[in-house]
Amino acid sequence: MDYKKAGVDIEAGYQSVELMKKHVQETMRKEVLTGLGGFSGAFSMDSFKNMDHPTLVSGTDGVGTKLKIAFELDKHDTVGIDCVAMCVNDIACAGGEPLFFLDYIACGKNVPEKIATIVSGVTEGCKQAGAALIGGETAEMPGFYPIEEYDLAGFAVGIVDQKDLITGESLRAGDALIGIASSGIHSNGYSLVRSVFNIKKAALNTYYESLGTTLGETLLTPTKIYVKALKSIKEGGAVIKACSHITGGGFYENIPRMLKDGVRARVEKKSYPIPPIFEMLSRDGDIEEKMMYNTYNMGIGMMIAVDKGDVDKTLAQIKLAGEEAYVVGEIIDGEKGVEII
């Protein structure tokens, strides 16, 4: 008996590392001090010495049951983007710049080519975020995961000068709410998605005129990464007073997290276009409207609050970064919370 006969192929692990090296190298930043394959990743802080109060911010998350769609379609090149996005967007909405990322892949069987494909998505997400992929772990766990399945999670660290932290403390009635468009469902609510839709391969490969593509392609559309858009707003001279990454829990859970006591967010649901996948999901699943807004991003992946006088420049800078945004409401006085009208 040996480890390979027990289900763990060490040689496959080595091959996976070799195959992913070319992707990882594309994410390197000048601050990275170590190469892939060491026991830890080292990152120099010299570039940030001029900050008044350099403050580390972090985020960790996974892709969740969206992976089930990837398994069914045997398509693994985009879920890594989702993994990075879920972590770095949280850092960005605190005002931080993502510095580096680490991934964790646990699988039933290490197929080097598949692992390298997953990591190619992680590296694409890191490139979009400007973060270096400085390490990770691929754990082969036979008997714990089915042979064809895996889990994917990650951890990111960023930095911000303490004075630039986005806290919501300067919010006041009359401030504008601007929503930056999502790419679709992103990476939340897929347990409900899988309860509504038939996620077998044939159904996922069905083309829908309303979607403009197949159901599977729509459901696997990767999560938007908003790092560049938020950085662009700052570079344009606008101040983001508050920011919320719209993830699991939708509008009702996430928007209040960016508010201080004594103010409410009022969102006008007809102020922006809702992607057709949400209408299809609501209709086919007979899901009431409030549950949709309490589960999904409904077409807005990042919500920010700015002074009314900064609206035009904010929209212009978001467009310059290649994203779509809409004025979707305002801040009003009242008990902390959100109302959708």
Give Cβ neighbours of residue 43 (< 8 Å, ≥ 6 apart): 31, 32, 33, 99, 100, 132, 134, 157
In the chain, what are the domains?
10-164 (3.30.1330.10), 176-340 (3.90.650.10)
For the chain, the helix, strand and coil percentages under 3-state DSSP, each to the nearest 5: 35, 25, 40
| Structural contact between residues 109 and 8, judged by C-beta atoms closer than 8 angstroms | no
Give residue 1's pLDDT: 66
Structure tokens at 241: 């007073």
pLDDT at 39: 84
Report the number of secondary-structure helices (H) and strands (E) in the chain.
12, 12
What's the pLDDT score for residue 203?
97
**Residue 133, token pair as written in the block:** 């992929």
> How far apart are the C-alpha atoms of 32 and 46, rounded to whole Å?
11
pLDDT on residue 9? 66
Output the tens digit of pLDDT for each of the chain's 341 residues: 656 656 666 677 667 777 777 788 889 899 998 877 778 889 999 989 999 999 999 999 999 999 999 999 999 999 999 999 999 999 999 999 999 999 999 999 999 999 999 999 999 999 999 999 999 999 999 999 999 999 999 999 999 999 999 999 999 999 999 999 999 999 999 999 999 999 999 999 999 999 999 999 999 999 999 999 999 999 999 999 999 999 999 999 999 999 999 999 999 999 999 999 999 999 999 999 999 999 999 999 999 999 999 999 999 999 999 999 999 999 999 999 999 99
- Angle formed by the axes of helices 112-129 and 227-235, nearest 10°: 10
Tell me if residue 187 falls in helix, strand or coil.
coil
